[in-house]
Homo-oligomer: A and B are copies of this chain.
Amino acid sequence: MESGRRHGALERSTIAALGDLWLRDVRIAGSPAPTDIVIERGRIASVGPPPAEWRAEAIDCHAHLALPGLVDGHAHLDKTLWGQPWRPHSAGAGLPALIENEREARVELAPVVERAAALLEAYVANGTTLLRTHVDVDPENGLRAVEGVLEVAARFADRIEVEVVAFPQSGILAAPGTERLLDAALRAGASLVGGLDPAGVDGDAAAHLAIVFGLAERHGCGIDIHLHDRGPLGRGQVGLVIERTRALGLAGRVTMSHAFCLCDGEPEVEPLLEELAEQRIGLATVAPAHTSPPPLERLFELGVPVCLGQDGVRDLWSPWGDADMLSRAGQLAWRAGYRRDADIERCVEIATTQGALALGVDDLRLSPGGRGDVALVPASCRAEAAVAHPPRALVVKNGVPVAGSLRSSATRCDTRDPTSA
């Protein structure tokens, strides 16, 4: 699935700092006793103590639980009001009213770089090391938001990997000029092309998808499509996306965001799920209040990669969200009615390793060869971590400590063992 990622992991790892780090005394899921994690040149070298000649940084982790870096698979960094004064919600009800309200009100907002940077600071503090953000592209906004988010993403590259979806929030056919702008956004550095309710918002599913898949083919990039439409209308579009993914050989490069039509428990959904698995099409959920979560057990069984997102965080669409993916994993588990550890832990996987898979990243895991991305929390197990979502004690990106109070306890080891010096 990782093959063909134009931007993101591979490209960024060449610009991000790669650290050597020895995390002493951590808990790891599946390990009966606390152990160590050793990171060399940004990658996990071993789970267990380092070689005797270890001479780099070490942090005593006091048996905190180590999680892989947290993943937000569906964010909207350009929309956030995080760090701004509280702004009462002003939109009417329904999708068109929300889109219209935003178009009118966004001109008053602080620059996107200021708002996106404030939110990324919170994401980093909360242990997020990989994030996919949709960024508005439309004739009024032009490339302003994409350029702003790309600028902030570059500034944060040592702390969090950000991939940008060029997102037609106002539609493509409904907002003439958007196709050309999406093309320009992809040339400017966006990693994926987005879509929005090809039928429900844009009124012509076939034409909308022809443009989206055409751009993906032309740019060799992935696709991530917002789909709110429900019932047969929604399911029909999922079918069209599957068909085009298969026809263009884009297996493993396509994500469907929200896809509420797959969450309503209708029996017609099952064959679609099987085809999603076959085409390795990922599903992004935001654990919403108003819709059932996706059928997580079945998706896991089938191997459909699922990621979790905050969606907007405190923006013109909604005041909710907090940039904490561990809290959001708990929200997903709670909404799914989970009480057992194994079920809750599935949601933590969706917010870490599984979520990364849904974004085409297959090396976010706490085992040798995995990315040196780690979030430490004071918890005995992953279920407790999701339920309590305590502050992150340490956040490590590519082997470099980037946040958390334990960071200040880092010591330089001249040797692993003084007697062998």
A residues contacting B by CB (< 8 A) are 85-86, 88-89, 91, 289-290, 314, 318-320, 322, 334-335, 337, 339-341, 344, 379-381, 383-384, 387-388
Nearest-CB distance from A82 to chain B (Å)?
11
A337 engages B380 (CB within 8 Å)? no
Given the interface pairs A289-B334, A334-B289, the reply to whether A383 lies near B319 with Cβ below 8 Å is yes
A86 engages B384 (CB within 8 Å)? yes
Collect the chain B residues with CB atoms within 8 Å of residue A388's CB: 322
A379, closest chain B residue (CB): B86
B383 engages A340 (CB within 8 Å)? no
B340 engages A88 (CB within 8 Å)? yes
Collect the chain B residues with CB atoms within 8 Å of residue A86's CB: 379-381, 383-384
Nearest-CB distance from A348 to chain B (Å)?
13
A339 engages B381 (CB within 8 Å)? no
Q: Could you list 23 A-B pairs, sorted by A, with CB under 8 Å?
A: A85-B380, A86-B379, A86-B381, A86-B384, A88-B340, A88-B341, A88-B381, A88-B383, A89-B341, A289-B334, A289-B337, A290-B337, A314-B387, A318-B339, A319-B339, A319-B344, A319-B383, A319-B384, A319-B387, A320-B334, A320-B339, A320-B387, A322-B388
Collect the chain B residues with CB atoms within 8 Å of residue A344's CB: 319
In the bound assembly, the distance between CA atoms of A164 and B233 in angstroms comes to 53
In the bound assembly, the distance between CA atoms of A320 and B338 in angstroms comes to 10
Interface centre among A88, A290, A319, by most chain B C-beta atoms within 10 angstroms, is: A319
Collect the chain B residues with CB atoms within 8 Å of residue A319's CB: 339, 344, 383-384, 387
Collect the chain B residues with CB atoms within 8 Å of residue A383's CB: 86, 88, 319
Nearest-CB distance from A286 to chain B (Å)?
12
Nearest-CB distance from A263 to chain B (Å)?
15
In the bound assembly, the distance between CA atoms of A320 and B388 in angstroms comes to 8
In the bound assembly, the distance between CA atoms of A379 and B86 in angstroms comes to 9
Collect the chain B residues with CB atoms within 8 Å of residue A340's CB: 88-89
In the bound assembly, the distance between CA atoms of A180 and B86 in angstroms comes to 55
Nearest-CB distance from A80 to chain B (Å)?
13
B85 engages A335 (CB within 8 Å)? no
In the bound assembly, the distance between CA atoms of A248 and B319 in angstroms comes to 46
Collect the chain B residues with CB atoms within 8 Å of residue A91's CB: 339
Collect the chain B residues with CB atoms within 8 Å of residue A335's CB: 289
The 5 A-B residue pairs with the shortest CB-CB distance in the complex, in nearest-first order: A89-B339, A88-B341, A86-B384, A86-B380, A89-B340
A388, closest chain B residue (CB): B322
| Seed contacts A88-B381, A89-B341, A322-B388; 19 additional CB < 8 Å A-B pairs | A85-B380, A86-B379, A86-B380, A86-B381, A86-B383, A86-B384, A89-B339, A89-B340, A91-B339, A289-B334, A289-B335, A289-B337, A290-B337, A314-B387, A319-B339, A319-B384, A320-B334, A320-B339, A320-B387
